[in-house]
Amino acid sequence: MMSKVVIKKYANRRLYDTDRSSYITLDDLSQMIREGREVEVIDAKSGEDITHQVLTQIIVEEEADGGGMLPVSFLRELISMYGGAMQGAVPNYLDAAMQAFREQQKAMGGAFDPTMMTEMAKRNMEMFQSAASAFTPGAKPAAAKSSEDDSEVEKLRAELAALKAKVDKL
C-alpha cells in the first residue's frame, strides 16, 4: 500500500507535493487520487488540515468543466440536509454507500449492468429519505409499499440472481 502524500497549500494557492518535492496543480492532485494515492492537504502557514476543502474544490471544478457526474436531484437532496437533524449521519451513509459501490464493482468485474446500479442507487436514496423523515420534525412519513414497489423488488431480485449466476460462471 502506498503511503499518504502530504501536500502543502501556500497562500498564493500553489500546491507543493512533499513526496516529489515539486509544485503541482489541482489536475495533478486529482490524477494522484484517481491512481489510488491517499493525500492530505495542509495549509502551509497554519498547519490546518484542509483536505476536505481542496477535494471539494476539485469536484466543483470537474462539475463546472462538464463532468456532470452528480445529478441535480442528488445535489438538491444533499443541500436540503445541511443544518438538518440528519446532517451528522449523511457523511457516514455516503461513505458506506461508496464503499459498497466499490466492493460490488470489484466483485462483478465488467459484468455489471449500469441500469441495475441506477435502480440500486434510487432504492438506497429512498431508504435513506425514509429513515431521515423519521428524525425530521414535521416530515411526512414514508408511504406504505404498494404492489408496484413489490413487483419492482422482485424484478431487482431477479436481476441480482442473474448477476450472481454470471459471477458464479466466472
Give, to the nearest 10 degrees, the angle between helix 90-108 and helix 114-135. 160
- H-helix or E-strand spanning residue 15: strand 15-17
At residue 65, the pLDDT reads: 87
Query: Which residues, other chains included, contact 22 with Cβ-Cβ below 8 Å and sequence gap of 6+?
Result: 16
Strands 5-9 and 15-17: antiparallel
Query: Which residues, other chains included, contact 50 with Cβ-Cβ below 8 Å and sequence gap of 6+?
Result: 9, 41, 42, 43
At residue 94, the pLDDT reads: 86
SS3 label, residue 93: helix
Q: What is the pTM of this model?
A: 0.61
At residue 2, the pLDDT reads: 66
Q: Which of 68-72, 94-98, 137-141, 155-159 has the lowest mean pLDDT?
A: 137-141
